[in-house]
Amino acid sequence: MATALHLAFIPEVTLAQSAEGLLTLQTRTTRLIVRHSTPGLQAMIQVLAGSGATQDALQALVLQTDDAEVLPRFYYYLNRFQAKGILRTTLLAAGQPLATLCPLVEARLPQPQRLTATARVVLSRFAYCRRVGQHWQLESPLAPARILLHGGRGAALVAALAQPQDRHSLAQAVPEISVDGSEMFLALLAQGGMRSTVDATGQSSEETQDTLGQWEFHDLLFHSRSRVGRHDNPWGGTYRFLDHFPPSRQSNLRCPAPYCRSIRQTSRRSKLPTVPSQTSSKPVARSGSTATRR
């Protein structure tokens, strides 16, 4: 079964062209101006902003109108788009999407090393899967990207990686996937930081490292998601439920005031130490007047 990598811009990218012919790619957090472009490069960007294509198809499109001297600039812009976090990669197996690697932040994703025939890997213990829309979504607090799983084949591959697998055993675990498809899927996991190598004793590299070995899953997840720059989630006062739920009938919640005398009596009966009330006559400035601090 044939496999291929399909490239396209993330849906948040908007494309605009100025009167001088400059193309501007913009998202909520980044802006990139494409300078010194050629007709072939402009056609490539238009395709990436639309349905996308494989890298070989994009290269052939550029060469239809440009010379081979433009190819270094072609690869430069592809790397630039990836570093800016606006280019997503979809693994196609038998012409159908299997998994899509979507960047979260501006970061150059690592290039995975080719696995040997006997190298075994396992899913990262920090990776987690949840439903988003109509797809399963694989994320990790260590990952600068997320992976969308299309259909049941991608989920079956993830389930098989609960145990150490090499590229051949992984393809046997999911018969619809070829060895090349399993290897390319493992490469996507490596780019997303969601796989871990396994040594001869069966331990993963995450368990033997001094730093990662001491992190708990929930601690590292809250650590990464509570910091700006490690995810693409909105933060601050987003008012995301403004048009989804009616406002509360009671605008102010009244909390009962503590009854100090009752608290002191209860503390005396239970023989708990109490802090006596203190009064200070030190003046405190309040809107041009003085007040007694208690």
AA letter at 24 = T
Tell whether 238 is covered by a domain.
no
**Sequence-ordered alpha helix ranges (H) in the chain:** 39-49, 55-65, 71-83, 151-160, 167-173, 179-191, 205-208, 217-225, 260-269
| Residue 249 falls inside a structural domain | no
Looking at the structure of the chain, the number of domains it has is: 1
In degrees, to the nearest 5, what angle opens at C-alpha 56 toward C-alphas 54 and 61?
A: 95
Q: Which residues make Cβ contacts (< 8 Å) with residue 163, sequence separation at least 6?
A: 122
C-alpha 209/C-alpha 62 separation (Å) is 45
Spatial neighbors of 266 by CB under 8 A, at least 6 apart, are none
The CA-atom distances, in angstroms, between 155 and each of 118, 128, 129, 162 are 23, 12, 9, 11
Domain of residue 133, residue span? 3-203
Question: Is residue 289 included in any domain, yes or no?
Answer: no
Q: Give domain status of residue 32, yes or no.
A: yes
Helical (H) or strand (E) element with 128: strand 128-132
Q: Which of 44, 65, 40, 212 is nearest to 125 (CA)?
A: 212
Quote the pLDDT of residue 289: 45
Sole residue written with tokens 């145990």: 163
- Tokens representing residue 247 in the block: 């406002």
In a domain, 213, yes or no: no
Q: Residue 91: inside a domain, yes or no? A: yes
Is 277 domain-assigned? no
Q: What residues contact residue 117 under an 8 Å CB cut-off, 6+ apart?
A: 166, 167, 168
Inside any domain, residue 252: no
Please state, as a whole number, how many other Cβ atoms lie within 10 Å of the Cβ of residue 30.
14
- State how far the Cα of 198 lies from the Cα of 201, in Å rounded to an integer: 8
User: Which pLDDT tens digits describe the chain residue by residue (294 residues)?
Assistant: 588 999 999 999 999 888 777 888 998 888 888 888 899 999 999 999 999 999 999 999 999 999 999 999 999 999 999 988 899 999 999 889 999 999 887 777 777 777 787 889 999 999 999 998 888 999 988 888 899 999 889 999 999 999 999 999 999 998 889 999 999 999 999 988 888 888 888 888 888 888 887 888 888 888 877 777 677 777 777 787 888 888 776 666 677 777 777 777 776 666 555 555 555 555 544 444 444 444
Model-level pTM?
0.74
